Amino acid sequence: MSTRPMMERHPDIAELRARYDLAAERPTAQAVDGLTLLSGLYLAMSPWIVGFGGRTTLTINNLISGIAVALLAVAFVSAYGRTHGVTWVVPLIGVWTIIAPWIVSGHPATTATICSNVVVGALIVIFGALAAGVGLASRRTTMGERRF
């Protein structure tokens, strides 16, 4: 039996998570997470809002991608200190959302479908990058305080 503490209990890990959680409590970070959540919800509902619910593959794609973005946003809001490592996934989903009408849709995409996916995909990329920036700003602050 080892007497070493588990990695989760290591003081540096606990301090880093606390700093990430503190950074996530800032109003700017909360606004970004809220906008990410709204973008994900819109993406999930967009087939019925825009009117391309008949395109089964793109409808399912947007539904799954939107739910994934919304769940990630909820995770960032509730436990950023534990979920900051997956913030890079949100911009990737945004890029996928932008190119999906041409890749997933079996029929030629309509202008409304393309516009909806490109705009919400771009917003998801921006909000995802900003969410990742919350962690990077926290890390820069942490590194700036230490002397090597």
> Within a domain: residue 17?
no
94 burial type by CB count under 10 A (0-12 exposed, 13-18 middle, 19+ buried): buried
* pLDDT given for residue 77 in this prediction: 81
Q: What is the mean pLDDT of residues 96-105?
A: 90
pTM of the model: 0.75
Residue type (1 letter), 82: R
Number of domains in the chain: 1
> Is the pLDDT score of 136 beyond 80?
no
> Within a domain: residue 9?
no
> Within a domain: residue 13?
no
* pLDDT given for residue 45 in this prediction: 96
CB 55 within 8 A of CB 116: no
CB 33 within 8 A of CB 73: yes
pLDDT digits (tens, 9 = 90+) for 23-49: 556 667 778 888 999 999 999 999 999
102: domain range?
Answer: 25-140
> Within a domain: residue 47?
yes
How far is Cα of residue 42 from the mean position of the Cα atoms in its chain?
14
Structure tokens of 4? 């070493």
CA–CA distance, 110 with 146 (Å, rounded to integer): 54
> Within a domain: residue 99?
yes
Higher pLDDT, residue 32 or 53: 32
- Using pLDDT thresholds of 50, 70 and 90, give the confidence band for residue 18: low
* pLDDT given for residue 110 in this prediction: 85
> Is the pLDDT score of 102 beyond 70?
yes
